Structure 1
Amino acid sequence: MKLLADNPLIFLALVIGLGAAIGSISIRKVSLGPAAVLFTALGITAWGSSMGLELVLPDVIGSIGLVLFAFTTGMLAGPGFFAALRRSWPAMLAIAGVVVATGVIGLFVGRAMGIEGETIAGAFAGALTNTPSLAAAGGTPAATVGYASTYVFATGWTLFLAVLALRSAHKDVDAPPTLEDCTIDVFKQSISVAALQEQFGPDLILTRIRPGGRGPVVALTDEMTVRAGDQIALVGTQVAVNALVAAIGQRSADDLRQDQTSLAYRRIIVSRHDLVGRTVGELGLTERFGAKVVRLRRGDIDLLPTSDTLLQLGDRLRIVGQPDRLGEVSDYVGDSSRGLTELTPVALGLGIAAGLAIGLITFPLGSLTFSLGAAGGTLLTGLVLGKVGRVGRIPVSMPQTSASVVSELGLFIFLAYAGTKAGSLILHAIETGEVTRDALLGVVMTMFLTVATYLLMKYVWKSGGTRLAGLIGGAQTNPAVLSFANAKTRHDPRVAVGYALLYPAAMIAKILMAQILAASGG
């Protein structure tokens, strides 16, 4: 313990390594995941305190972890966040209202229990797992004890709700559609490819044709016509494919993809920086090489690209074209494995710097002020940069693989820091007897906010289980819940979008409410 107290970097590495090992233990397919780092740090710090040793991590370490996590989470959620925002702003307002109601309930219950305003504010911050709220409440000893007394239950209970949400994920109707490849024997007479594409929408892409069912396979273009006796190949959602099959023919026993004599396909990685943030249509593969993008794989998700789909560094494109020209396509797109792992330091450095500056801006609200803080500011810039992809000629997004790794590293560092902050105070709360009273108040507030969020998002906004897990984490502004859900869903983008959707509104409401509670007196 003396070694750990004198060497914070060794302490940090030990907590992350031991916590990650504990988090990997699964009981009935349920594990703590990265959240175990938080509890490991709390336990070791409390153990050290009982021996008269203070185990601490410098504040700057926690800040670095937090901003890395928040910025890359924004990067991951950016492409889907703004599309969801247009239809989900009422949910953001609802969560802000739930946070305010939670504070009001906490104030009345706390007063009835004889708890002073500063302690109520700290318990509110811990019960809603929001460290910036603790700072907004003044960070006094009374507030900090309230925070430490409520944080652990709040994290554990929220993780339980995330598990509950994910158990229904198999029923999600908002899941990305499963794509399939299909070859069709055409019965219907003379219909243009353009007409088929218009009739069945963007949910399928026609890729190949064998005219008359014999001879060489060639690429399908919008100018061509499909006739009875032809065989065509396509990729699309199961619903769209089934509809097209019913309209023009039947599924074929042949697979045109297997005939690569005159037409082949290859998976190619986007690694050229000047292509990032441009659309699939702007690649101009058909005009340049007579090739077509028929699938796009981003992370672990297969997408059906349209001409308007924005490219990100590390996207893996399935491209159909002439065998002797696919090498040219590969050189043009880049096709380097570095595209999967580059950090894009310009985006990482300048984006975080801009986010930190935004987080310092204070906004007046009557007699109070609030700011987004480091986490809110960097999350905001990450969302914007993840959405736009590039500024002028400079790419400002990161590959999903890189962003996921940096996000997880940042989270581990922050959770280790947060655990040491709470662990050093929890023994004091136990010794003074305050912990039981404060913890009961925290349970009331935690239960109200999380259960209200769960019910509202599930039954009013009809969110599927996967997105619901992210929404719960966002309402609680709890990185551990996001990371847990990411690990369980293999970084399904719906988790990050749900988290980022509610996080800003919840963060602002919590900071304001903590200041009000702290100013409420005894």
Structure 2
Amino acid sequence: MELLKDLFEGSPNLWGGGVAHSVLILSLVIAFGIMLGKVKIAGISLGVTWILFVGIVFGHFNLSLNEHLLHFLKEFGLILFVYSIGLQVGPGFFSAFKKGGFTLNILAVTSVSLSVAVAIVLYLVTDTPITTIVGILSGAVTNTPGLGAAQQANSDLNGIDAPEIAMGYAVAYPLGVIGAILALQSLKYILKINTTTEEAEAEKGMGHLQELTVRPVSLEIINKAIDNKTIKDIHPLVNRKFVISRIRDQYGKQELVNSDTELHLGDQILVISNPKDIEAITVFFGKQIDVKWEDEDSNLVSRRILITKPELNGKTLSQLRIRRNFGASITRVNRSGVDLVAAPNLQLQMGDRVTVVGSELAVSHAEKILGNSLKRLNHPNLIPIFIGIALGCILGSIPFMLPGIPQPLKLGLAGGPLIISILISRFGPHYKLITYTTMSANLMVREIGISLFLACVGLGAGKGFIETIVNEGGYMWIGYGAIITIFPLLLTGLIGRYGCKLNYYTLIGILSGANTNPPALAYSNEQTSCDAPAVGYATVYPLAMFLRVLSAQLLILALG
């Protein structure tokens, strides 16, 4: 019995109760939290946030860790979490601000700004401490890095942790998940959405997604002006980005194309391009037709190949000479879940998935050049990760002044590593720096980080949690959180629909991304078979994540 008591309560003769005690408590909190996170009620789960609630229960019963060890593990977990997020979103961060994504990101900024404004109003009207309000804000928009950034900013400002930040987060989070889904459902009825029409438009990828996605289209050549001309002669005339993947002549013979392939009247071609360019390309070549290329009796195959050779990092498609050397054609490139047109000047990155079309032999030769070795990718590149974390800690510790804020502002251990990881993952390939990690490796680092962080936050906040909720008006925080969750989503949804003329499925993806809310994205994806919600979410998520982290810090530093 004495052994069990020392393990659970800690040995008085050892620092912090002993290593075994600390590891046991931390492991149990994380394990029980993850188990509860798998439970779904009405199809909704709180996921890893259950770790926070289990930590609060353990902390309430005084089963906690040494406060210095708790602080270190919490910050280390936060660094791992935000750095892995930066590696994931970095490749698409800056491209999201191009024409197609600019409007979507402006809408996400509107949503973030509205939620911050509502939080400030609640702070002024209710006399609730700003630390609590920021915790409620982070929970209401389900943004864990914002919680970490707020705690770190408060620690830098006052030299102590503020458990009420975690309490506010814990109270507001459940309704942050449920309230977001209810808001998206309400928008469908408020906007009187015709789901059939909306889905048909979303399937075509038109509107604001037309520059962010690619679409295949089958055409028949009826333009006499291009009869007997080669593809390299035609490309400058069209003045659009497109790739001709396959061609079938009027006699039914199907073959792969290259720059010297001649086009003739009556030929049928498969073109890959952005939806915004499809109409112009169709008018130029002829007319759209319905062809099921995969059902054709042909010696051509289509295969997705993974770029795994480090020497290809940063090289353009034209430098590979796949068509000239092997008679195969790269028709599209998938990066971070988004398909890109395989333009000759497109730079490849480790982990890209390219679609290669050609004969079985040609595709096999191309596969050897490109890599396609999962074994190679399964070996993580740890040097860029830890150098990036070190640089992130340095950047996060540099103070700088902003007008109107008396204290120097720091990006902290949430903002610094996040910015560095975004920059390294985006620009590393230009300097031959291998930053790629497999999705599974990135997810493992991220889940370990968030689990450590939430467990430590819960253990630290558990002691006074029940007292605060029952006797100090903490139950009112649920209402504050609901207002912060629902009001900005509904207002932004109306602006996006009537002001920006967004497709409904794109809109709910954007709103889910603006709240960095994976359960809301899962709900959005279930509403349609198209990928419009996922594309909208991925487009705004990087900026929304960055703004949520930064705004949480600014609120603490400006009003704390």
- Normalising by the smaller structure, the TM-score range is 0.7 to 0.9
Quick check: 1:84 aligned with 2:72?
Answer: no
* SS of equivalent residue, structure 1 residue 363: coil
* Offset, 1:471: 1.0
Per-residue deviation, residues 446-489 of structure 1 (Å, max 9, x unmatched) = 3454345424543335572123212113xxxxxxx458747986
Task: String of CA shifts for 1:306-346, please: whole Å, max 9, x gaps.
Answer: 33434232222221234433333112111101355443212
Give the one of 238, 242, 246 matched to 1:208. 246
Cα distance in 2 for residues equivalent to 1:92 and 1:239: 23
1:230 and 2:267 matched: yes
Residue pair 2:307, 2:350 contacting (<8 A) in 1 also: yes
Which stretch of the first structure deviates more once superposed, 491-500 or 383-392?
Answer: 491-500
Q: Alpha-carbon deviation of 1:203? A: 6.9
Q: Is the 8 A contact 1:204 1:234 kept in 2?
A: yes
* Deviations 1:127-147 (CA, angstroms, capped at 9, x unpaired): 223243344345879983533
Counterpart code for 1:15: V
Q: Are positions 1:124 and 2:122 aligned together?
A: no
The match for 1:38 is 52
Q: Does 1:18 align with 2:60?
A: no
Alpha-carbon distance between aligned partners in 2 of 1:166 and 1:276, rounded to the nearest angstrom: 40
Structure 2 partner of 1:477: none
Cα distance, 1:374 vs. partner?
0.8
For each residue in 1:205-255, what CA deviation from the matched residue of structure 2 results, as whole angstroms up to 9, or x when unmatched? 31222333244x332234433223434334457787788678635636663
Do residues 454 (structure 1) and 468 (structure 2) align?
no
Residue aligning to 1:296: 333
1:279 equivalent in structure 2: 316
CA distance in 2, matches of 1:391, 1:203: 22
* 1:501 alignment counterpart: 543
2:406 corresponds in structure 1 to: 367
Opposite residue 89 of structure 2, the aligned amino acid is: A
C-alpha distance in 1 between matches for 2:294 and 2:106? 48
> 1:145–1:429: 8 Å Cα contact kept in structure 2?
no
- Render the CA deviation track for 1:400-448: whole Å, top value 9, x for unaligned: 45334432332233222222222233145357x22x1x553x4565345
Q: Say if 1:302 and 1:141 are closer, same or farther in 2 by CA, change over 3 A.
A: closer
Residue 124 of structure 2 corresponds to residue 108 of structure 1: yes
Select between 241-250 and 343-352 the one with higher mean Cα deviation: 241-250
Paired residues, number: 493
Deviation at 1:165, TM superposition (A): 6.0
Equivalent-residue separation in structure 2 for 1:145 and 1:253 (angstroms) = 62
Match of 2:74 in 1: 62
CA contact (8 A) 1:356 1:378 kept: yes
Give SS of 1:265's match: strand
1:467 match: 510
Indicate the larger mover: 506-515 or 416-425.
506-515
Of stretches 129-138 and 33-42 in structure 1, the one that deviates more from structure 2 is 129-138
- Write the mapping of 1:109-508 to structure 2, written as runs, cut at 5 A: 109-111=125-127, 120-129=129-138, 130-138=147-155, 144-164=162-182, 177=213, 179-180=215-216, 182=218, 186-189=221-224, 191=226, 192=229, 193=231, 204-215=242-253, 217-235=254-272, 248-249=286-287, 251=289, 255=293, 258-261=296-299, 263-298=300-335, 302-338=339-375, 340-365=377-402, 366-429=405-468, 433-434=471-472, 436=473, 438-440=474-476, 442-443=477-478, 446-455=481-490, 457-461=492-496, 464-473=507-516, 481=517, 485=521, 492=534, 494-495=536-537, 497-508=539-550
Gaps of 5+ in 1: 474-480
Give unpaired runs (5+ residues) of structure 2.
11-20, 139-146, 189-194, 501-505, 526-530
8 Å CA contact retained: 2:220, 2:267? yes
Q: Does 1:514 align with 2:532?
A: no
> Residues 134 and 188 of structure 1: is their aligned pair in 2 closer, same or farther, counting only changes over 3 Å?
closer
- Note if contact 1:314-1:339 (Cα within 8 Å) is conserved in structure 2: no
1:20 counterpart letter in structure 2? I
Distance 2:106 2:182 in 1: 24
Q: Distance in 2 between matches of 1:83 and 1:205?
A: 21
CA distance in structure 1 between the aligned counterparts of 2:54 and 2:123, rounded to whole angstroms: 31
CA-CA distance at 1:371 after TM superposition: 0.6
Equivalent position amino acid for 1:338 in 2: K
In the TM superposition, residue 33 of structure 1 has moved relative to its aligned partner by 2.0
Superposed displacement of residue 104, structure 1: 4.3
Opposite residue 147 of structure 1, the aligned amino acid is I
SS in 2 for 1:313: coil
Query: Identity over the aligned pairs, expressed in percent?
Result: 23
